[in-house]
Amino acid sequence: MSQVRVRFAPSPTGSFHIGSARTALFNWLYAQHTGGKFILRIEDTDKERNTPEALQHLIDGMKWLGLLWDEGPEVGGDFGSYFQSERKDVYQVYLKKLRDTDRAYDKDGAVFFRLEGDRYQAYDNFKKCEVEKVKAEPQVINDLVRGKVERAEEQDFVIFRKNGEPVFHFVNVVDDICMQISHVIRGEDHLSNTSKHCELFKAFGHTPPEFAHIPLILKSHGSGKMSKRDEGALIDEYQSRNFLPAAVRNYLCLLGWSPKDDREVLPIEEIIQLFSLEGINKNNARFDEKKMSFINSEHLRHLPIDEFINLAKPILTAAKLIDENIDTDYLNSVLKICQEKVRSIDDLPSFCNYFFNEDFDFNEKAKNKILKKGEPKSRLTELLNAIEKLEKFDQVSLEELVQVLAGKFDVNTGAYIHTGRLAVSGTNAGPSFYGMLEVLGKEKTVNRINRLLEII
């Protein structure tokens, strides 16, 4: 097989949408899987809607997701320019080719593509009048996702507007020819355009590329395709909420593709190895932000500790929990035990604030739940007395201590763990109880237990 060359050809008119990101990702994955080239091509001929700000959003979003391109803006390549607005001379050359073979003609100020086939008059229900139609040969599209699709165009169609600008169908085909695109991977909503594109490819004497029309992404609730107005639809939302790009990328892979073994959390290296166009599902994929959040928490949990610490520091600094004078060893110890349990980087300040604040508030719901069971004051007093006598203050010694107390006073270890956790953290959830005590140290643990004993 000759080298795979795929392209992502967005029109930068706003923020970077989840659907566009998934299309870019599937193209990038296929290029990575096959050792091919991934081209970024900008469809910026709509002067009124395309903006430099939207283009920068797009480029920043792709870089954040790790979808780096082999050819295109900022990196160049042998087939530039990669901006359609800079390719007008190329489009005129190809328009002349159609005129020279009588496949293009002027009508009402626009330029139309002439289909081949017998012509006849028929009533058009939409236009409410007689129109000329063509018995054109059906275009057979052996789509790598959808299977065999046959579509026939019935009417000549516009390829240059009245204002002289080329339309999407024309520039798309011309650029795919010029850039030697081997596979066109795009949303299923473009399938209806493909017969027009095949007509143009054949008129230019070129074999169409392979097509793979991937399923649509449906909104979380209700029916219909996910739009830019739907909650969770924009990539920059996840950037601002400190999602891990690897997690977002992982989740996007699952919107229309799966490794076929029920796994959801995978490293990108394995996804690249497993990915294939034949493995893409036909059914539309429903967006589920809860699942993305779960995948994000799993990636966060398995992040190398140095990377986790580097992500956490600015978040905790912005929350005014730490400053440049923080004890680095203490901070690192806190983050090591929090990494296993925290669901997102944004949750970290509320999750671990008591490590950096002696005057923390008690969660009233947790407090009422814990203190109404058994004899919490007795359990806390017993725990305090035992801890004060403890010489080696580490997880192993603390766990043994609690087990001994539970046996001595004939109660569950939870009676000490729940009241002890409430005393030192103000809540009933968090990292490992014994790990938390070890990190806080004996002095802070004793002081905090005394603080709760004074108010119950």
> Under CATH, what is the fold of the domain 87-214?
Rossmann fold (3.40.50)
Q: Fold match between 235-301 and 364-453?
A: no
* Per-residue b or e along 386-406, where b marks 16 or more CB atoms closer than 10 Å to that residue's CB: bbeeeeebebeebbebbeebb
pLDDT of residue 168: 94
> Under CATH, what is the fold of the domain 364-453?
Arc Repressor Mutant, subunit A (1.10.10)
pLDDT of residue 262: 84
* Enzyme catalytic residues: 228
Domain 235-301 has CATH 1.10.1160.10: yes
Task: Provide the angle, in degrees to the nearest 10, between the axes of the packed helices 395-409 and 414-425.
Answer: 130
Residue pair 49/94 in contact (Cβ under 8 Å)? The answer is no
pLDDT 10s per residue in the chain (456 long)?
Answer: 589 999 999 998 888 999 999 999 999 999 999 999 999 999 987 777 778 888 999 999 999 999 999 999 999 999 989 999 999 999 999 999 999 999 999 999 999 999 999 999 998 888 888 999 999 999 999 999 999 999 999 999 999 999 999 999 999 999 999 999 999 999 999 999 999 999 999 999 999 999 999 999 998 887 788 877 777 789 999 999 999 999 999 999 999 999 988 899 999 999 999 999 999 999 999 999 999 999 999 999 999 999 999 999 999 999 999 999 999 999 999 999 999 999 999 999 999 999 999 999 999 999 999 999 889 999 999 999 999 999 999 999 999 999 999 999 999 999 999 999 999 999 999 999 999 999 999 999 999 999 999 998
- The domain ranges of the chain are 87-214, 235-301, 305-355, 364-453
* Calpha distance 176→190 (Å, rounded): 15
pLDDT of residue 1: 54
Query: How many CB atoms within 10 Å of residue 123?
Result: 10
